[in-house]
Every structure is written in C-alpha cells, then in structure tokens.
Amino acid sequence: MNWQTNIQIRELADGQTIPFDLLLLADPSREMIDRYIHRSSILVAYVSEEPVAVYVLYKTSEDTVEIKNIAVVTHLQGKGIGKYLIQHSIEKATQDGFRYITIGTGNSSLEQLYLYQKAGFDIFSLKENFFTSQYPEPIYENGIQCKHMIMLRKNLF
Ligand code: ACO
C-alpha cells in the first residue's frame, strides 16, 4: 500500500469512537489508557479512510506536552508511518506553542528508543520501577524485562 499519497491525520472530535484497538498496541493496560485518554488530544491517521495509526498528546504543564501513546496497525509497521507521526506531533506541538515535547518508553523498547532519539529526543529522566509497580503482569521485550520508564524530551525552540 502506498500510504504516503493517501495518509490523512485528523484530531478526533468529542464523541467520535476512540480507537482502543490501536492504543492497546502501545499500552497493554486499558486502565492506564483510561487515566489519560479523556483529557488528551487524539490524532488518528487514516489511509483511504481506514484508521491505521494513532498518537495521543497530553499537556503535562504550561510549556510541555507528552506523547502518551503512539501506535501503527501491525501490518503497516516498519514502513515509515511511525516516523511520520513523530514529525507530525513535533510540528503540532510547536504550532500549539509548547516549548518541550516529551515521550516515555520502557527500558526494553529498543526500537522505540532508536526511533525517538533519531527524531531528536534526548533521555532526561527515569521513572524507576514504573512498569513493575503499575502493571499487573510482567512485560518482556527483546528478552529483557520492562521495568523502568525512560523519559525523553525534545526542545521545540
Ligand atoms: N527493528 C529495528 N528497527 C526498526 C524496526 C524493527 N523491527 N521497525 C522499524 N525500525 C526502524 C526503521 O528502520 C526506522 O529507522 P530509519 O529512520 O533509520 O529508517 C525507524 O525504526 C522508524 O520506523 P517506522 O517504520 O517509522 O516505525 P513504525 O511505523 O513501525 O512505527 C511504532 C513505530 C509506533 C513503535 C510501531 O512499530 C508500533 O506501533 N509498535 C507497537 C506499539 C508501540 O510499541 N508503540 C510505542 C510505545 S511507547 C508510547 O506509546 C509512548
């Protein structure tokens, strides 16, 4: 599928169906998603009007917005859509007047750490034992237990 010529990213309006199937790809806990989703902007990417990806922006302070969730439908992963969404989120956060954009991911999420650092995010803090204390089941990726949340930040100006 040639997604580049067909992709459209639109913010979900109040009352529109939230794509929990996509959000759960990035965050396996519906309970955790419910803690932020109703106070966030939800940006959905459509290819030929099919929802194929999502990212979620949550304002954490006057000058900072966090990407709380980013996900691409499984069969379209690895084709550049995630990178495109990260660029889109950076442009949106800049236009919305924020000074910083942040994102958190697990210590075991090697591909995500690569993607975010390549997009200009720098590691600035660690939420120690976040995943072991907040999630009921242990999470493993790349043969590593996901224990801590690594926080990354990009300056927007
Ligand atoms: N292994 C290593 N590198 C990879 C892989 C892989 N399996 N897949 C892609 N990459 C590289 C690409 O080569 C590319 O690098 P490049 O810029 O040097 O070419 C880079 O990663 C970005 O690749 P994309 O194709 O843009 O990534 P994708 O469209 O798959 O989106 C995402 C990335 C969002 C992580 C997607 O794979 C996904 O939805 N995964 C499941 C959900 C998830 O983990 N979400 C993030 C959780 S953290 C959070 O939500 C805040």
Supply the residue whose CA is at minimum distance from atom 26 of ligand 1: 80
Rounded to the nearest integer, the mean pLDDT of the chain is: 96
pLDDT digits (tens, 9 = 90+) for 18-63: 999 999 999 989 999 999 999 999 999 999 999 999 999 999 999 9
CA of 112 to the centre of ligand 1 (A): 6
Provide the token pair at 135. Answer: 């999630």
Q: Hey, whose CA ends up nearest to atom 12 of ligand 1?
A: 78
